[in-house]
């Protein structure tokens, strides 16, 4: 809530204006009805015509001011709300972006969507229904009570107790009752949203495994729960508003009865009775919506904590990331006893990894699936931070380097690469500013893709085969021409011969560059300066191809197995 209020305070001017116009509207509406009550009584006594004329003119004035200020209040408060919401979305996104990798691992996308859309929407009630209306209510009510006191202290006290009843006692009673029965609609909304995304993402697989109906049924079940929850909430809030309205009306009757009694005892001039009753009827207009105040407050609290809990888990980055690296020169990479565990996992993915890759060297990382090869690359790209040990790029600690400077100076092919809906051209152009059509056509030839630049790429590159996707990703890095290459099994879906030809091209292009190649095959590694063999998060062996073969250790064994598999 603190953060929300901070964001809101940036709209200070509109907040003041909303309170101002709201108060004017509230006071003129009380005045309007009070005066009309007074006028009815006064007219009965046949006053001079000019008095009636003046009162009619005043009535018209109040009516116009009331309408105008109510309009202004709505206009300003909604303007403020939409500005606050857009600030909220932007500030949420800005926090989300740098932590995206961790967050995507932790939340399901449907849940995230529900928070970003739904919870933000819930927060629109905060300013409109929670923050400023009580201020307006109190100002209008207290001024009215003061005014009434001139005529009858008892009726003033009655109005005051009415305020306490409708503004405080009834709303908190309702809130207490509701808290016990209220289902958490926000969680249900997130569940529905999660189910929908799962269904859509997994549609084909669900269909193939004939689980579509089951999944649909479970979606409908959750949707029904959500809808009935909403219905209950709607009914409850309507019921509490009606209850409050009834209480307000009851007070007005008591005012009438008490006023009539005072008139008979002579304590009150009968001329003012109608006015007081009309005032009482009007002043509660502002109090009736207070019935839903606690519900909105509770909503706001939950929505803001759900929203901000996503981005506020990790506090304060350790060091200021101000250094830059590379700038078109290949740089060195060093890992010193790096330990890293994925958030929420028990076993470390890297368990004391030390490596030294001089600038311009060519390194292959091999090892069984799950041995931590991809994790090394993720750490080098500063997508995650090591728990212990140090990583140095260009002899600078990675913790002090701007991540953008790392990304700008590396050509990266990850195991899963994203392509955008559009054309081959669109997908290649993101490699670098100002690539020409010739350059793009040239790299397509180098990776042996027979595509034209205007060929279309569907969502998630559904229309490309695994190997084509990999080659397109390689083509993208070839365009970028950064001085350091981080390649995670870039050609695992290619046949051996194509792989070798593309790899030749790549090494030629990267002749002076630092290259880290995670490889699933053991062929063609003779050309690398060093081979790192990983096993269960640790470095099992390091050496050149010949050294490792001569040593007849783990690498040699793996190589033998590969050969026997290839031979059969």
Residues near Mg ion (CB under 5 A) are: 374
CB within 8 Å of 23: residues ≥ 6 apart: 136, 139, 140
Question: What tokens does 403 get?
Answer: 């991540």
Q: Residue 375 touches which of ligand ADP, Mg ion, none (CB < 5 to 8 A by kind)? A: ligand ADP
Rounded CA-CA distance 395/566 in Å is 41
Piece of the chain touching ligand ADP by CB under 6 A; list 3-11, 243-251, 366-374, 455-463: 366-374
Q: Which is nearer to ligand ADP, 47 or 403 (CB)?
A: 403
Rounded CA-CA distance 414/420 in Å is 16
Q: Smallest distance from the beta carbon of 384 to ligand ADP, in angstroms?
A: 9
Using alpha carbons, select from 364, 404, 403 the residue that is nearest to residue 555: 364
Q: Which is nearer to Mg ion, 268 or 518 (CB)?
A: 518
Q: Which is nearer to Mg ion, 41 or 492 (CB)?
A: 492
Q: Residue 306 touches which of ligand ADP, Mg ion, none (CB < 5 to 8 A by kind)? A: none
Using alpha carbons, select from 245, 244, 246, 256 the residue that is nearest to residue 280: 256
Q: Which is nearer to ligand ADP, 69 or 374 (CB)?
A: 374
Q: Which is nearer to ligand ADP, 27 or 353 (CB)?
A: 353
| Residue 114: DSSP 8-state | I
Binding mask 55-94 for ligand ADP (x = CB under 6 A): ----------------------------------------
CB within 8 Å of 358: residues ≥ 6 apart: 332, 514
Q: Smallest distance from the beta carbon of 351 to ligand ADP, in angstroms?
A: 10
Q: Does 370 bind ligand ADP (CB under 6 A)?
A: yes
Q: Does 384 bind ligand ADP (CB under 6 A)?
A: no
| Residue 107: DSSP 8-state | S
Q: Smallest distance from the beta carbon of 471 to ligand ADP, in angstroms?
A: 20
Q: Does 310 bind ligand ADP (CB under 6 A)?
A: no
Q: Does 342 bind ligand ADP (CB under 6 A)?
A: yes
DSSP string computed for 28-59 = HHHHHHHHHHHHHHHHHT---HHHHHHHHHHH
Q: Does 413 bind ligand ADP (CB under 6 A)?
A: no
Alpha helices in 366-402 (DSSP H): 373-380
Q: Does 532 bind ligand ADP (CB under 6 A)?
A: no
Q: Smallest distance from the beta carbon of 415 to Mg ion, in angstroms?
A: 5
- Options 53, 67, 93, 105; binder of ligand ADP; rule CB under 6 A: 105
Q: Residue 265 touches which of ligand ADP, Mg ion, none (CB < 5 to 8 A by kind)? A: none
Q: Smallest distance from the beta carbon of 135 to ligand ADP, in angstroms?
A: 48
Rounded CA-CA distance 398/484 in Å is 15
- Options 375, 470, 477, 530; binder of ligand ADP; rule CB under 6 A: 375
- Options 46, 210, 322, 369; binder of ligand ADP; rule CB under 6 A: 369
Rounded CA-CA distance 124/81 in Å is 6
- Options 371, 410, 491, 519; binder of ligand ADP; rule CB under 6 A: 371
Rounded CA-CA distance 455/280 in Å is 73
∠ CA 185-188-194, rounded to 5°? 145
Q: Which is nearer to ligand ADP, 322 or 369 (CB)?
A: 369
| Residue 401: DSSP 8-state | B
Q: Smallest distance from the beta carbon of 283 to ligand ADP, in angstroms?
A: 60
Q: Does 345 bind ligand ADP (CB under 6 A)?
A: yes
Classified as helix, coil or strand, 313 is: coil
| Residue 502: DSSP 8-state | H
Q: Does 372 bind ligand ADP (CB under 6 A)?
A: yes
Q: Does 373 bind ligand ADP (CB under 6 A)?
A: yes
For residue 370, give Cα distances in angstroms to 5, 103, 178, 413, 476.
46, 22, 50, 18, 27
- Residue 345: exposed, middle, or buried by beta-carbon count in 10 A (0-12, 13-18, 19+)? exposed
Question: Other C-beta atoms within 10 Å of 540: how many?
Answer: 17
Asked whether 188 and 222 are in contact (CB, 8 A), the reply is yes
| Residue 144: DSSP 8-state | H
What is the maximal distance between C-alpha atoms in the chain?
Answer: 121
Piece of the chain touching ligand ADP by CB under 6 A; list 66-74, 92-100, 368-376, 547-555: 368-376
Number of helices and strands in the chain (H, E): 23, 12
- Options 69, 374, 405, 417; binder of ligand ADP; rule CB under 6 A: 374
- Residue closest to Mg ion, measured at CB: 374
Q: Does 349 bind ligand ADP (CB under 6 A)?
A: yes
Exposure string over 55-82, b if 16+ CB within 10 A, otherwise e: beeebeebeebbeebbebbeebbeebbe
Piece of the chain touching ligand ADP by CB under 6 A; list 297-305, 309-317, 364-372, 438-446: 364-372
Asked whether 462 and 388 are in contact (CB, 8 A), the reply is no
Piece of the chain touching ligand ADP by CB under 6 A; list 5-13, 83-91, 362-370, 398-406: 362-370
Q: Residue 556 touches which of Mg ion, ligand ADP, none (CB < 5 to 8 A by kind)? A: none
Q: Residue 342 touches which of Mg ion, ligand ADP, none (CB < 5 to 8 A by kind)? A: ligand ADP
User: Using CB under 6 A as the criterion, which residues of the chain lie in contact with ligand ADP when the complex forms?
Assistant: 105, 342, 345, 349, 367, 369-375
């Amino acid at each position: 809530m603190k953060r929300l209020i901070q964001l809101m305070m940036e709209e200070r001017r509109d907040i003041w204006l909303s309170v101002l116009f709201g108060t004017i509207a509230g006071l003129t509406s009380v005045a309007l009805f009070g005066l009309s009550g007074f006028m009815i009584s006064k007219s009965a006594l046949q006053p001079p015509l000019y008095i009636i004329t003046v009162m009619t003119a005043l009535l018209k004035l109040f009516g116009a001011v009331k309408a105008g200020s109510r309009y202004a209040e709505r206009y300003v408060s909604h303007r403020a709300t939409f500005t606050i919401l857009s600030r909220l979305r932007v500030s949420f996104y800005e926090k989300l972006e740098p932590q995206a990798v961790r967050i995507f691992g932790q939340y399901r996308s449907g849940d995230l969507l529900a928070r970003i859309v739904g919870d933000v929407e819930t927060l629109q009630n905060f300013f409109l229904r929670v923050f400023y209306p009580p201020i307006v209510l109190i100002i209008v009510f207290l001024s009215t009570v003061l005014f009434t006191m001139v005529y009858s202290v008892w009726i003033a006290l009655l109005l005051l107790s009415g305020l306490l009843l409708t503004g405080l006692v009834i709303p908190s009673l309702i809130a207490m009752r509701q808290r016990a029965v209220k289902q958490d609609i926000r969680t249900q909304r997130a569940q529905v949203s999660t189910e929908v995304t799962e269904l859509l993402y997994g549609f084909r697989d669900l269909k193939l495994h004939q689980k579509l109906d089951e999944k649909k049924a479970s979606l409908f079940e959750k949707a029904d729960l959500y809808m009935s929850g909403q219905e209950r909430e709607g009914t409850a809030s309507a019921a509490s508003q009606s209850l409050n309205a009834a209480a307000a009306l009851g007070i007005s009757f008591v005012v009438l009865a008490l006023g009539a009694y005072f008139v008979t005892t002579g304590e009150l001039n009968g001329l003012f009775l109608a006015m007081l009753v009309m005032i009482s009827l009007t002043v509660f207009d502002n109090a009736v919506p207070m019935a839903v105040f606690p519900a909105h407050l509770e909503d706001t609290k939950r929505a803001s904590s759900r929203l901000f809990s996503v981005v506020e888990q990790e506090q304060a980055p350790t060091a200021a990331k101000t250094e830059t690296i590379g700038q078109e020169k290949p740089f060195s990479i060093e890992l010193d006893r790096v330990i890293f565990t994925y958030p929420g996992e028990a076993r470390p993915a890297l368990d004391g990894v030390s490596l030294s890759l001089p600038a311009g060297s060519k390194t292959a990382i091999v090892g069984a699936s799950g041995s931590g090869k991809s994790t090394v690359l993720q750490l080098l790209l500063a997508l995650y931070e090591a728990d212990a040990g140090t990583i140095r790029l260009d002899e600078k600690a990675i913790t002090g380097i701007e991540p953008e400077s790392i990304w700008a100076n590396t050509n990266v092919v990850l195991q899963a690469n994203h392509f955008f809906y559009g054309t081959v051209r669109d997908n290649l152009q993101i490699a670098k500013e100002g690539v020409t059509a010739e350059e793009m056509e040239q790299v397509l030839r180098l990776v042996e893709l027979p595509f034209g630049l205007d060929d279309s790429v569907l969502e998630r590159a559904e229309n490309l085969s695994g190997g084509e996707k990999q080659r397109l990703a390689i083509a993208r890095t070839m365009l970028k021409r950064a001085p350091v290459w981080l390649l995670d099994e870039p050609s695992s879906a290619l046949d051996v011969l194509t792989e070798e030809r593309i790899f030749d091209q790549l090494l030629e292009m990267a002749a002076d560059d630092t290259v880290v190649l995670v490889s699933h095959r053991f062929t063609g590694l003779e050309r690398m300066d060093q081979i790192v063999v990983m096993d269960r998060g640790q470095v099992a062996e390091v050496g050149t191809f010949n050294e490792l073969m001569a040593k007849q250790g783990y690498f040699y064994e793996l190589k033998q197995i590969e050969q026997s598999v290839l031979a059969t």
